[in-house]
Amino acid sequence: MNPLLDFSGLPRFDTITPEHVAPAIHQLLEENSALVTRLIAPGTPATWDDFVQPMLDAGERLSRAWGVVGHLHSVNDIPPWREAYNALLPEVSSFYADLGQNLVLYSKYKALAESAAFSSLTAARKKIIDNELRDFRLSGAELPEDKKPRFKAIQEELSALAAKFSENVLDATNAHAEWIADAADLAGLPDDAIAAARAAAEKEGKPGWKFTLHAPSYMPVMQYADNRDLRARMYRASATRAAEFGPTQWDNGPLIDQILALRSEEAKLLGYANFAEVSLATKMAENPAQVIAFLRDLAHKARPFAENDLAELRAFAQAECGLATLESWDMAWVSEKLRQSRYSFSDDEVKQYFPEHKVLAGLFRVVESLYNVQLLPDTAPVWHPTVHFFRIERAGQLIGQFYVDLYARETKRGGAWMDEVITRRRLMVNAANATSANFSSADATEIQTPVAYLNCNFPAPLGEGEQQRPATFTHDDVITLFHECGHGLHHLLTQVDELPISGIRGVEWDAVELPSQFMENFCWEWDVLSGMTTHVDTGAKLPRALYDKMLAAKNFQSGMQMLRQIELSLFDFQLHDNYQPGSTQTVRQLLDDVRREVAVIVPPEWNRFPNSFSHIFGGGYAAGYYSYKWAEVLSADAYSAFEEACQKTGSTLDAETGERFWREILAVGGSRPALESFTAFRGRAPQPDALLRHNGMTMAS
């Protein structure tokens, strides 16, 4: 059997090869197409059992198989996998575009929604039907027939352009290396960063040290290297990735213009003024004006703090570092010097207390304490030997499993992300024959347990065998891991049995970051950190005095950091709101306008950050990057409930509050509006006070 067509359990990563992709996906596309033909026939009743359930079952097989292909393209982007993915991407995109425009399918969903049987459906199934009707409209089902081919072509082009955008960023990242021959040029760098650079050079059989643009190599250079020329070269290489300064085939500039033009055309075909309105159709925010007002209000509150942050940094750079002018490649280095001067510790010092095994154990303790579950090692085929696999149990019963891929690799896309492998649903005994006329939801007998991927790009262990030194993570890395785990828990701890609204599915995009950002807060609690730290060399626990310094520095430069996020959010939103592709204003000019409005730091003219802004051009955050700040209001306010419980119990790891958070937020998935879920948990509407307090901005005007 083609392993991509085996849906009996976990993906068979030990046997799946690029050669399996085309036969498997072609077969599934044919099966789905045949099913659609049967379902749109007049003889098929527009009922849940006869119409909706077969669609869901067949659709899951395709999405699971294609999800594995997409995952391997992201974590093992070698030429055969890239070719296999890109060869089938147009066909898969075309199938989904046709599906979304199928007027007969749409009419059957409408008939079900208008039937007497609709009132007897559960609230979850009613929500699914409502979502389907909305998505059909957004997919062009109501377009005139002569407009549908163009709309379909736009969907296919956008899918291909997004994939190419991400590939260009990865290729441009891999193409640059800084080779250091003189040890004097390594001054200031931590020992483990130097050792990793030496190992990278040895791997290629060369002397000296090799530094790359991948985060585990790049960030220590920018933060610690005393060699200003090295920092400047690395910064410029990173800031100009996938731009006109490098190979033409990797230049994302033309792709950005094409993507924006196609999104604008798509919006107008659907009857919207712009793509921002299309984006908000599936989000909590009601209209573009509300989003822009939200961002500008936050910017107003953060700006005094950001201006003070920058003034302090410039004064320190001049007085203590001898820098009359503070350049972009100096920012992280001077900031680290100022942090060490003010708080008497460095990120690298803290990093030595976070070896991988203790971090994972500490993360698992938080999850187990909050939700009365057990996280245990498990076994499964994996795509790389360093990938871990775990299971989640409650009262001895399996409720979910997840893969953890922690380390950066040249064949793995950057950043950190969570994705679905398998989604919870009520399983049918004869699911393999779900297209048969005798299929009925009455055959349901058991729950399909969910499975997730958690992916990061952290530095790998150094050395081999007994000489291997465990991977150690910065505190920011730890926060990132907790963040992705929050997404994973949203997917894994759902109690919804209907596939389209189970876990993160069906959750408004600007609320989906709530559980992830919520988890970050525990990384600042002493009763959490004290149990998840051991010095990698001495075995000593994190000293309370060092923790106190970390806590004192928690909001170090928080004003500048918040304005940076607002800058990106406002840039993204205005690109899709009032920017006109092909007009006299360029993308860079729009970014300059946004920076003049909200930023306190302006990078060099040659900085091409948009060319590697994969969130909005290669991912799903177009006109949605603001979601991080929007959801941060929700997450900070939600966490304040645990802070209130701490005043009574002495710990934020409060099981009673955790149970309520699970029941009202994580368990319900997309079965109801996110605002209702938040209000059910908190007992009121969200308030921004906690966010401002957590960022040290309670005195903002």
For every residue of 333-377, DSSP letters joined together read HHHHHHHHHHHS--HHHHHTT-BHHHHHHHHHHHHHHHHS-EEEE
Sign of the torsion angle spanned by Cα atoms 660, 661, 665, 668: negative
For every residue of 464-476, DSSP letters joined together read SGGGPBPPB--HH
Distance CA 553, CA 522 (A): 16
Structure tokens at 568: 């990106």
Distance CA 431, CA 209 (A): 55
* 394 Cβ contact list (under 8 Å, min separation 6): 371, 372, 373, 374
Instruction: State the first-to-last Cα distance of the chain, in angstroms, to the nearest integer.
Output: 65
CA–CA distances in Å: residue 196 to residues 45, 191, 359, 360, 463 = 63, 9, 21, 22, 9
| Strand 417-422 with 397-407, pairing | unpaired
By C-alpha distance, which of 491, 480, 479, 427 is closest to 453?
491
Residue with tokens 């068979």: 12
Say how far residue 42 (Cα) sits from the centre of its chain: 42
Whether the Cβ atoms of residue 30 and residue 58 lie closer than 8 Å to each other = no
Whether the Cβ atoms of residue 638 and residue 660 lie closer than 8 Å to each other = no
Q: Which residues are catalytic?
A: 484
Structure tokens at 405: 């891929």
Backbone angles phi, psi at 403, to 5 degrees: -95, 145
Say how far residue 526 (Cα) sits from the centre of its chain: 27
Count of other CB atoms within 10 angstroms of residue 18:
19
Identify the DSSP state of 102.
-
